[in-house]
Amino acid sequence: MSSKWYKNIVNKVKLFGNKVQVLESSVLDERKNYREIFERNLALEKEIADRTEELNQANKSLLTLKHIWSTMNSSEPLSEVLLTVVNGLSSELGYLQCLVFQLFDFESGSRLKIRASTENKFSEKISQILCSSVFSYDIPLGAKKNPIVQALKNNEIKNIKGFSQLFYDSSPEIEIEKLKEIDQLLGNKAICIFPIIVQGKPFGCFVTISIRNEILPTEQNFLTLFAGQIELAVTIANLFEQIKKQALTDALTGLFNRRHFDQCLATEVERSLRLNQPFTLISLDLDHLKKINDNYGHSTGDEAIKRIGEVLRKNARSVDIPARFGGEEFAVILPGIDVEGGIVAAERLKASIAESEVNDLEKITASIGVATFLRHTESLGELLELADQAMYRAKKNGRNRVEVATREEDEDWKNIIVEIFTEMLLKHKNSEVSKIVNKFKVYENQDINLQDFVYMILKYVSEAYNNVYNMGCVDEKLDVIVKMGKKTNTSEEEIEKFKIATMLYDIGRILMSEEIILKPGPLSKEEKTKVLENPILAAKEILKPIKATGHIINIIEHYHEHWDGTGYPGELSGALIPKGARILFIVSSFYAMISNRPYRNALPYEKAVEVLKNGGGTVWDARLVDIFISIIKSKRELFSSAINE
């Protein structure tokens, strides 16, 4: 009995023990599961934290890239873009120091100089240790052991430790103690060097100093992207510079163009008046360019023009402003130079040009005029005219010489105009040139004013060319212009200018190519440009030897301006358009409409009047249109009465 009881007790104890073991095992398994879950949660939390940090870093990187793109697209100078890159990496992404080295060519050889550097406390500390700015140092391209040179030459990314390596073989050489102090300051921080290659040419290197001891592959890939942005920034900056240069320079010679020259001349006049310091203007014209083009071809003529440009550049000081106006015309501004110094400079240019060699030409020469501001005049416009007059006097007196401006009016302006106009006619190869010139010579020594002289030119040229132009029409137009001038209370002097402008405009139209004048159809864009430019160019040539004629040119230049501002070339509107230009536009438009053309029949009188009325207030000055219509209506009525009588 007792034995059986004992066995039951033992079995129950064993059973209980087994249950306890099972329970313990279950508890242990659960603990293990809980530990695994806990460890997984810890790992997940760490991964989330790491990914969050990566996202924050990526967000900062994108913002930095956005800032760089904004700077690049704002046409900021390259130095500003590079500074944005290095400061962005340091401030937004936590790099200790970033630098951009650029390759420059010097007479002593090519060198890498720092173009941009981070501006922070760390860079200030480095400058304190060096006792100078990092910009004071450069690296010869021949420093083969320098890692920056190696990275650029081999076009490879280099990872290094130690700031001192960056300036190995630098100029001037940095003291070893200072380099050691900077190395101690940096410790074992990672330094990465990226080559910058722009359009296949080495530009320089991009250097980053990290806050970490190692740079991960993903980080290096990201920094490579930044290096690419620098390459793009340099490309864009170069394009801006190229466009700017094209806007300021003459394509054939590389000298400044007329637009930039005029801006510089206005600035120099203001400076001269403020400081009471003279400056000299040289006006230069290549001799016999037409003969060179005719006998040797236009390519030789272009070479002669380019050679003049080379001479002007070679002889110019850093402050001088040499420019090409177009064709064979050049000019040079000599700041701070009086007339005596200007003569010396002009003689030097003349001699250098005469010594130049151009293909098959034995010799090229130039006629040069010299005028000094404050000495000869205090007017910008008159300075240009005086220099041009002196240059034309040099041509008249045998060419290949220097003439100085005088305050006196040039009494031989008729002779000079005849010479200029003869050259213009020769370009058109008209067989009547000699007859026209002989007619001019009859009036050279006669007392004749500019208006009558221009009228005579217009008369003889229209007869010689025998085209669609007739002098009866011009007499009619001039009569209407006089009447319009009087009805608008315009002075006799101004009316005379209106008449001269009208005749010069017509001369320019007559000298237009016959292919354009007689073309039976609409003109091409290029042909329209020639129609616009030819009267202006002709007027400028004819008026060169005459002082104070800029206002006449101004009338012709703005002939096509519309009252509402939609015209050209200046898009002037309303009263900003010179009165003479407004009157000339109305008168010439009307008489053109009622005249036959090869490509259309003349409009009836009433239809032409209707066109003017409809265009009043948009194309033409409405008040002047009304005055014009009243004048031609009166003239027509008088003509009808005369016929009836």
CATH number at residue 83: 3.30.450.40
Q: d(Cα 495, Cα 584) in Å, to the nearest integer?
A: 11
Longest dimension (CA), the chain: 174
Query: Is residue 114 located within the same domain as residue 180?
Result: yes
CA distances 123 to 96, 116, 120, 283, Å, are 8, 12, 5, 53
Query: Is residue 232 located within the same domain as residue 278?
Result: no
CATH number at residue 579: 1.10.3210.10
72 domain-assigned: no
260 domain-assigned: yes
Question: Six-digit token pair at 46?
Answer: 């760490």
Query: Is residue 196 located within the same domain as residue 344?
Result: no
Q: Pick the residue with more confidence: 201 or 6?
A: 201
Query: Is residue 163 located within the same domain as residue 259?
Result: no
At 365 the pLDDT is 94
589 domain-assigned: yes
Q: d(Cα 562, Cα 560) in Å, to the nearest integer?
A: 6
CATH number at residue 269: 3.30.70.270
Query: Is residue 115 located within the same domain as residue 200?
Result: yes
At 438 the pLDDT is 66
Question: Of 64, 95, 111, which closes a domain?
Answer: 64
Query: Quick one: average pLDDT of 350-363?
Result: 87
**pLDDT tens column, 598-620:** 666 888 889 999 999 999 999 99
Query: Is residue 304 located within the same domain as residue 241?
Result: no
At 644 the pLDDT is 44
Query: Is residue 114 located within the same domain as residue 219?
Result: yes
69 domain-assigned: no
223 domain-assigned: yes
Q: 59-63, 565-569, 589-593: which has the minimum mean pLDDT?
A: 59-63
Query: Is residue 561 located within the same domain as residue 443?
Result: yes
Question: Of 408, 428, 463, which closes a domain?
Answer: 408
Query: Phi and psi of 302, rounded to 5°?
Result: -65, -40
What's at 280, amino acid-wise?
T
The DSSP bridge pattern shows strands 190-198 and 158-161 to be antiparallel
At 34 the pLDDT is 74
Q: d(Cα 381, Cα 377) in Å, to the nearest integer?
A: 9
Q: Average model confidence (pLDDT) for the chain? A: 79
At 521 the pLDDT is 55
Query: Is residue 257 located within the same domain as residue 195?
Result: no
73 domain-assigned: no
Query: Is residue 317 located within the same domain as residue 433?
Result: no
**pLDDT tens column, 131-169:** 888 888 889 998 888 999 999 999 999 999 888 888 888
Query: Is residue 522 located within the same domain as residue 615?
Result: yes
What's at 503, amino acid-wise?
M
Q: Pick the residue with more confidence: 484 or 427?
A: 484
pTM (two decimals): 0.44
Q: Number of folded domains in the chain?
A: 4
21 domain-assigned: yes
71 domain-assigned: no
Segments forming the whole domain that contains residue 347: 249-408
- CB proximity list for 325: less than 8 A, separation 6 or greater: 258, 261, 331
Query: Is residue 464 located within the same domain as residue 604?
Result: yes
Query: With bands split at pLDDT 50, 70 and 90, how would you rate the model's confidence at 331?
Result: very high
Q: d(Cα 211, Cα 213) in Å, to the nearest integer?
A: 7
Phi/psi class of residue 163: alpha, beta or left (left: φ > 0; alpha: ψ in -120 to 50)?
alpha
Question: Of 193, 226, 246, which closes a domain?
Answer: 246
Q: Do 97 and 209 touch, CB atoms closer than 8 A?
A: yes
Q: d(Cα 63, Cα 410) in Å, to the nearest integer?
A: 68
The residue ranges of DSSP E strands in 406-537, in sequence order, are none
* Alpha helices (H) in 157-216, listed in sequence order: 176-186
User: What are 634's strand-pairing partners?
Assistant: none
